[in-house]
Amino acid sequence: MNSRYGLAFILAGVSVLAGIAAFASVDDAQSFALQAAEPYVREGFQVREDYWGGDLAAGEKKAVRQQLFKGNEYWFWMGTEVNRAKISVHIYDKDGKLVEQSDSWQKGHFAAAHVVPASTDSYFIIVAIEESPEERTHWALVYGFR
Amino acid sequence: MIAVFKNSKWAGFTLTVVALSVQAASAPQQINVKQYKTVEDVVVPLPGEVFSALNKLGPVNWKEYVRTEKSANFSERPRTALLLGNVIADGFIAVQAQDAPAVKEIGQRVLTLAKGIGVGASITPHAKAITEAADKRKWENVRHELDRTQNSVQQAMNELQDQKLSQLVSLGGWLRGTQILTAVVNRHFTKEGAELLHQPDLLKYFSARLAGMPEYNVPVVESIKHALVEVRPLVDTESKPISPDAVKKINDITTRLDSEVVTR
C-alpha cells in the first residue's frame, strides 16, 4: 500500500474509533451490565427495567442507596463498554458492614454482587472504576431479585 | 431490556469467558458509607418487589385485592401521574392473583391514562404485550411488561422535562403497594410482614421530592405530604419491631390517600 494511502487509512480508522468513543454512552454500559445479568434471568431473577449510570474517573467510587426487602434475594450487575477497564461493585449495610455473599465476582469490565438481606432496610451499593485507559468511564448498574 | 439479551449474539461468548475466569471480589469488610457521593436518584422498588417478599411469608389471597373498576379521569397532570402509578400497581396485584381479565383491563386503562398525559405512544406496544401475555397466562412476561410500561412512561416524561411527574408515577405505585402490604399484614400480623414496611429512607426521598413541587398545588399532593410525615415515625423504629397498631395506622392512612388518588 502506498504510504500516503496507508497513513490516510490509519487516520480514518483512528477517527472512527474516536467517534465511537465519543458516542459511547451509559446505554452502552447498560447493555454490558445486562449481559452479566443474562444467566441469572434463567435462574428466575427478575431484572428491573430501571438502572443507574454515569461516568467516573479511574479510582473514583460512588454509592447508590437502595431499599431491599428481607425474604428476597438480589444480584447487582455492573458493566462498562470500556473493554480494558476494571470495575467493581460491593454491597454494604447502613452501618458500613460488607454484606454481600461470597459468590460475588468481578472480571474486567463486568462485576456483580449478591446479597440476601438480613433485614428490610436501605443498603449502599458501592460502584468503582478500579482501572481504565479512559479519562472518564461510563458505568451502569442493573439489579434483579427473586 | 431483555431484548438486549436476544440481540447480542456475542453475549454468550463473553459470558463464557467471564464464567471461566471470574475472580472473587475482595472488598473492605467495613467502610464509612457517609464518605461516598451518592447517585442522586433512588430507584423506587416496584410493588412486585415487595409482593415477592410478602409471598414468601405465607399464602396471600391476592384475588381479594384485585381492583378493576375505572377510576375518574383528571385534567390535572399531577393527579393523572399519581393515578397512573396506582393503576400499574393494580396490574402487579392482578398478576399475583393470576387474573387475566383484570390484567388486560388494567393494561388498557394504563394506555388511556398515558395518552391523557401525552406519553401514550411509548406505551402502546407494552399494552399489547400485556394483553398477549395475559391471554397466554405468561405471568412472568406480564410482570416484566408492567415494569417496562412504568419505565417507558417515566422515560417519556423525563424526555419531556417532566421529571416531577415521573416521580409522582413512582409515588402513586408505592402508595398503592404500601396500602396492599399493610392490608395483608394487618389481616394476619407477623413481625416479618411488618418489617417489610421498614422504608424510612424512601419516605425521606418522597418527602424531599414533594417539597420540590410547589407548583403542583393540588389537594391530593398536600394530603400525601402530610401523610408521609405521619407515617415516618411509625416505620422508623430503629431496631424495634413495627407494631400491629402501626401497621393498622399506615393502612388507614394509605387507604384514605388511595381514595383521594382514584376519586374526583
The answer, for B126 touching chain A at a CB cutoff of 8 Å, is no
- The confidence score (pLDDT) of residue A25 equals 82
3-state secondary structure of B75: coil
- Per-block average pLDDT, block size 10, for chain B (264 residues)? 42 50 74 87 87 95 92 89 96 97 95 92 94 96 95 90 93 97 97 97 95 94 97 93 98 97 90
The mean predicted confidence, pLDDT, of chain A is: 89
Determine, for residues B39 and A54 on separate chains, whether the beta-carbon distance falls below 8 Å. yes
Nearest-angstrom CA–CA distance, B140 and A46 = 8
Instruction: Determine what percent of chain B falls in helix, strand and coil, rounding each to the nearest 5.
Output: 70, 0, 30
A24 in contact with B at a CB cutoff of 8 Å? no
In chain A, the percentage of residues whose pLDDT exceeds 70 is 84
CA triple A70-B177-B156, angle to 5 deg: 110
Task: Identify any residues that bridge with A54 across adjacent strands, giving them in sequence order.
Answer: A139
CA distance B233 to chain A (A): 15
pLDDT at A4 over 70: no
Chain A contact for B148, CB < 8 A?
yes
State whether residue A83 sits within 8 Å of chain B by CB.
Answer: no
Contact B52/A111, CB-based, under 8 Å? no
Bridge-based pairing state of the strands A110-115 and A74-79: antiparallel
| Closest of B242, B190, B225 to residue B78, by C-alpha | B225
| Residues of chain A contacting residue B46, judged by C-beta atoms under 8 Å apart | 48
pLDDT at B161: 87
Task: Return residues 159-198 of B near A (CB < 8 Å).
Answer: 192, 195-198
A96: left (phi over 0), alpha (psi -120 to 50) or beta: left
Characterize the bridge pairing of strands B23-24 and A105-107: antiparallel
Q: What would the mean pLDDT of A120-142 be, rounded to a whole number?
A: 96
Inter-chain contact B53–A111, Cβ cutoff 8 Å? Answer: no
- In our burial notation (b when 16+ CB lie closer than 10 A, e otherwise), range B150-165 reads bbbbbebbeeeebebb
CB-based burial of residue B79 (10 Å sphere; 0-12 exposed, 13-18 middle, 19+ buried)? buried
Q: Judge whether A143 and A47 are in contact, CB under 8 Å.
A: yes
Residues of B in contact with A116 (CB under 8 A): none
Domain count for chain B? 1
How long a stretch of residues is chain B?
264
Instruction: Report the alpha-carbon distance of residue A26 to residue A138 in Å, rounded.
Output: 5
A67 touches chain B (CB under 8 A): yes
- Please tell me the pTM assigned to this model: 0.88
Task: State the Cα–Cα distance between residues A140 and B197, nearest whole angstrom.
Answer: 28
CB-nearest partner of A72 from B53, B150, B192: B53
Give a yes or no: residue B8 inside a domain: no
Tell me whether residue B12 is in a domain: no
Å between A9 CA and nearest CA of chain B: 28
Do B33 and A122 meet the contact criterion of CB atoms below 8 Å apart? Answer: no
Residues 94-123 of A with CB under 8 A from B: 94-98, 100, 102, 104-108, 110-111, 113, 119-122
Assess contact for B223 and B257: CB atoms under 8 A.
Answer: yes
Residue A8 has pLDDT above 80, yes or no: no
* pLDDT of the residue at A11: 55
Pick from A53, A59, A93: which is nearest to B33 by CA? Answer: A93
Per-residue model confidence as pLDDT tens digits over A40-61: 999 999 999 989 999 999 999 9
Are the Cβ atoms of B39 and A122 closer than 8 angstroms? no
Query: Inter-chain contact B46–A48, Cβ cutoff 8 Å?
Result: yes
Q: Which three cell numbers stand for residue A36?
A: 452479566
Residue B39 contacts A where some CB pair is shorter than 8 Å: yes
Q: Does B237 touch chain A (CB under 8 A)?
A: no
The answer, for A42 touching chain B at a CB cutoff of 8 Å, is no
- Say which CATH architecture domain A25-145 belongs to: Sandwich (2.60)
Q: Is residue B49 part of a domain?
A: yes
C-alpha grid cell for residue B22?
471470574
CA dist., res. B238 & res. B110, Å (int): 38
Query: ipTM score of the complex?
Result: 0.89
pLDDT digits over A96-108, tens only? 999 999 999 999 9
What is the domain extent for residue B246?
Answer: 45-262
Instruction: Using CA atoms of B121, B126, B127, B128 in order, give the dihedral in degrees to the nearest 10.
Output: 110
In a domain, B35, yes or no: no
Find the CB nearest B27 among A35, A98, A110.
Answer: A98
Residues paired with A128 in a beta bridge: A61, A88
Q: Is the dihedral of CA B48, B52, B57, B62 positive or negative?
A: positive
In angstroms, the separation between the Cα of residue B22 and the nearest Cα of chain A is 5
B-chain residues near A34 (CB < 8 A): 1, 4-5
Cell numbers at residue B248, please? Answer: 393498622
Q: Does A124 touch chain B if contact means CB atoms closer than 8 Å? A: yes
Domain for residue B33, yes or no? no
CA distance B64 to chain A (A): 23
CA dihedral B143, B64, B235, B31 (to 10 degrees): -30
Task: Give chain A's end-to-end CA distance (angstroms, integer).
Answer: 58
B213, part of any domain: yes
For A74, counting Cβ atoms within 10 Å of its Cβ (0-12 exposed, 13-18 middle, 19+ buried), the class is buried
Contacts of A69 in chain B (CB under 8 A): 45, 49-50, 52-53, 196
Domain contains B10: no
- The verdict on a CB contact (< 8 Å) between A46 and B196 is no
Say how many C-beta atoms besides its own lie within 10 A of residue B118's C-beta. 14
User: Three-class SS of residue B144?
Assistant: helix
Closest CA to B244 of B179, B189, B187: B189
Looking at residue B20, its pLDDT comes to 46
**B61 domain-assigned:** yes
